[in-house]
Amino acid sequence: MSDTTHSPDPPSGKDYDVQIEFVFYSHLYFVRGQVEEKQATSKSPRDSVDAIRSIDVHLLSVDEVYSRYSSHPTVGLELAAVRCRERDGKNVISPPPTVYWKKLLDYVFGGFNFLMWISFILTILCYEPLGPPEAFTLGVAVLLILVIVVSAAFYALVDWNANRIMKSIKSLIAHEAAVIRDGKQQIIKAADIVVGDITVLNAGDRVPADMRVMQASSDLRFDRSLLTGESEMVPGSLDATSNNALETRNLALTSTFVVQGTCHGLVFATGDRTVMGCLVKMSGETKFKLTTIQRELWFFTKVISCVALFFFCLSILLYGVWLRTSYPGYDTPSSAIVNSIGCLTAFVPQGLPICVALSLTVVARRMAKRQMLVKNLATIETLGCMSVLCSDKTGTLTAGKMMVGNIAFLNDVFCVEEINERVTKASDPAVFSAFKALHQIARLCNGARFDATTNHLSVQDRTTKGDPTDTALLRFSEALSIPELGVDAITLQQDYQKKFEIPFNSSNKWMLSVVSKVNTAEKNTESTWILVKGAPDVLFPSCSSVLQSDGTVVKLTSRARQTFVTLQEDWSSRGQRVLMLCRKPIEEIKTGLPPNDMEDLVYMEMCNLTLVGLIGIYDPPRPDVLPSISIIRQAGVRVFMVTGDFKLTALAIARQDVRAAASEKVSLKDYYPIKPSDDDPIRSLVLTGEDVASLTSLDWNVIVGAYTEIVFARATPDQKMRIVEEIKARGDNTVAVTGDGVNDAPALKAADIGVAMGSGSDVAKEAAALILLKNDFASIPVAMEMGRLVFDNLKKVTLYLMPAGSYTQFMAVVANVLLGMQIPMSAYQQVAYSISNDVVMSISLMYEKPEWDLMQRKPRNARTDRLTDWRFFFHIFLFYGLMLWPCAMAMWFLYMDQQGLSFYKVILTFNQWGDGWQGYTLDQLNQFINVGQCIYYVTMAIGQCGTLLAVCNRRVSILHSNPLWGPSRNLLVLVGMTGTVLICIVNLYGAGFQRVFDTAPIPGMFWGLPFTFALGILLVDETRKAIVRKYPKSFIAWLAW
């Protein structure tokens, strides 16, 4: 670390001439010994390309890399160097810049605002030059532009709030990294990594910064799909395989993952200076992706907009070719356009986009309170459609806190708690000499590590980095101390040095370490060992001898083999994971060989192993799993277990948690439905990975279509992914997968919804769409309920908005154009209702609580169960709407009748309505119209209160589920109804509104009657719900939404 390298004299014309004594700042580049200072300003895309091209660290030798960055393979960086390099900033990639003008255009012209713009432009044209300037027309234009401004501001506010919530939720994930500093391995925040750090990466870890691979296991593999799009695993290497930094295999780049093996890397770039940071700067702003419901609503918006434009054009056409010629003077061009604008505003459910944005953000916030990280809002919607849940076992259905429970040698079995007691009581402790060999393998053939900063704590309280199984063995071997036999973890680590290692992976299902004694003068046959631990069924063929408890080695006979098989099955049937520990003495191996050559050499020695013993590791089931599974099942979701564990172990846990029965056969048929029907018996099945590999398409039809409970055991990662894809391919199943390990990542990606545990690997968390930060399995049914609630509430909002906002307003325009009577609802009132009354009451529906039967319904089919269908429109136009608009129209005619204008003196009058009609002056007739329009407006607004209360529940009576008290309490419904009445009062009695928009006070009876109409709508709907509950298979129930 004291070596000094001097730079040659820089060429003239430079502003600096410095020599560096191995003090490296991450904003300085070393190029042929010269130093060029990097400005702290943001890079242009050209600069980013040059920065990537200038990377040459992969072309240097290992020693040159250590020298360049003033680091050491075993010491790492010293604290002083770390403090100095921290000045260069955090290891965080800055988000791409936001193009605000694009967002502004989207806010102003997006959604239904473009219809408002059309209406505004036409209204301005009606004010000047198409018609005589009138205060009413100008007032409508001002109101429309105000609507646009308020809507744009609200969209911007909701968007900002949603982004803020998502950022705060994502900040809940603590990205950590293991580094070597001051000669100790420490776990730090990934953001605190500095250039020169030696980082330790294991399978499942995210690469936290750009680094050069300095040490690597022979099976090192990276997942670079996020960076390069490659779907295949990329092997790691110590030497450069390409001059291109993006192609070479001896660099580990930010945001890639270690999916197999282990390595040590030296960090050469952090934050925005990484390759990923440069690419982010070049790519610019990320594209906005519509969620499933947003796409559906956007389609709904386009359809509604087209219908609105069609009827608007039809209204103008009828005026131009019919009314203008047949009834001259009935309407002026400007009044015809202003009245027809009602077609545009009538069909605009202005509250719908607002409610969509609100609903998703509100639910995301609720989920965040339960420590559920939603990566994107689409996840919330999809959760409600889940029909199959494929769950991993370890760390998901179980607590993930593995502990060694039992030890077995050929001729003796121990519980962990009794080891020391039995050894102490033995007359000769040497009869248990096999513990020394078992302890050697458990401690040295282990991929887990303690965090050096927690070594002062007890063994059980220390922080570890590694696989749960290795962690259990690490804690066991560290705590195991038998002085009589010389069993001590500290002494063992001092006596042996690890020469080579093949980490555990899901393919071979074993781990191997080659260790040699240190400070040994004579090199005997027992100074170097191959230590192996793994699945018994995989290692049995490689064993030829077995160790007895007293340390003597005997031949592994078929009888001895059967003893271990019986023991394995017994432990597995009790839910324990069983590992076999083996070893073999070998001659001193040559070091310095390439990893692949070392691996080939070691594989040649994987024979004639000595079976030392079995270790049983138990992982207690999570206490919340059984009740959660019960709720999930009641919701119509099938639960399958997919695990790499032994068949009997998986089945034992399944019987505790998933309650899966034994395997049973079903008769073959030519056709099976996509899922079992409600009348089918509960059928359970257990399949192994070998079974999965041999299944045909017909077999999968039987499995997916006939069985309700399935356990897939001994499944490899690619088999897990195939299981998910086969289930998805059959029918309309929406598949969710839970997992926490590297081997679960392919299935998590393939699923419709990937759910990872917060304690899981970085690979799993990256592949998942939902992360349970507290590892709380009970959060899954809650998330399902939230997803169903979002969709349920949006249906209620849409059903509430359309009868009045579209149907009743549109009928006012139809009556004016086709029935020749004065328009019963002015353009101002239509616009005001759409953007105030409708919005105020519809927002309250987004805060509705789940209905009692929400989690007892069958899962929604995401492909066929749309937000709106024919039943939906039946209720809009032939049920709620058919009650509301006749009531509003009847009130209009009732008021006219009270003024002496009977039904036939109002309808089909066309251009007869003028000065002298039925003895009234034009001013009197206009006053009648103004009051009648306000009556129509008030009747529609108050009548919608009945619709609001009616749609709050789909099947339950309001007597059992009301918004005022009880579990369904939602006082915002009452606030919304009060708000809509207050808006009506302001519109009718405000002096400014009366002067500009010709509103007028209405008689008291016309304030009271609408409440009876609202009550009538509610009572009729209550009758419908009672019939549906009483006769669930009746025609009325079939029509229910």
* pLDDT single digits (tens) 455-510: 888 888 888 888 888 899 999 999 998 888 888 888 998 889 888 888 887 778 89
DSSP secondary-structure letter at 398?
B
State both tokens at 108: 């102003």
d(CA 808, CA 756): 48
Q: What is the pLDDT of residue 740?
A: 82
CA proximity to 272, closest of 549, 588, 26: 26
State which residues of the chain have pLDDT below 50: 1-43, 285-288, 658-672
Bridge-based pairing state of the strands 543-547 and 528-534: unpaired
Contact 797, 846 (CB under 8 A): yes
d(CA 761, CA 980): 52
d(CA 947, CA 965): 19
3-state helix, strand, coil in the chain (%, to 5): 50, 15, 35
CA proximity to 549, closest of 410, 715, 691, 437: 410
Q: What is the pLDDT of residue 408?
A: 94
DSSP 865-881: --SS-HHHHHHIIIIIH
Q: Catalogue the long-range contacts made by 54-63 (C-beta closer than 8 Å, 24 or more residues apart).
A: 54/29, 55/245, 55/251, 55/268, 55/269, 55/275, 57/212, 57/251, 57/268, 58/212, 58/240, 58/245, 58/248, 58/250, 58/251, 59/240, 59/243, 60/212, 62/214, 62/238
Cβ-based burial of 41 (10 A; exposed 0-12, middle 13-18, buried ≥19): exposed
The CA-atom distances, in angstroms, between 417 and each of 403, 439, 480, 482, 612 are 12, 15, 10, 13, 20
Contact 12, 34 (CB under 8 A): no
* pLDDT single digits (tens) 311-338: 888 888 888 888 888 888 788 888 888 8
> Sign (positive/negative) of CA torsion 621, 624, 625, 630?
positive
d(CA 727, CA 675): 10
CA proximity to 715, closest of 735, 697, 741, 736: 741
Contact 355, 843 (CB under 8 A): yes
DSSP 644-667: SS-HHHHHHHIIIII---------
Contact 751, 390 (CB under 8 A): yes
| Euclidean distance between the first and the last CA atom of the chain, given in angstroms as a whole number | 76
d(CA 865, CA 291): 16
The CA-atom distances, in angstroms, between 971 and each of 477, 608, 797, 966, 975 are 60, 75, 16, 11, 6
Contact 61, 248 (CB under 8 A): no
Instruction: Look up the pTM and report it.
Output: 0.75
Q: What is the pLDDT of residue 129?
A: 76
d(CA 625, CA 394): 12
State both tokens at 391: 């769950």
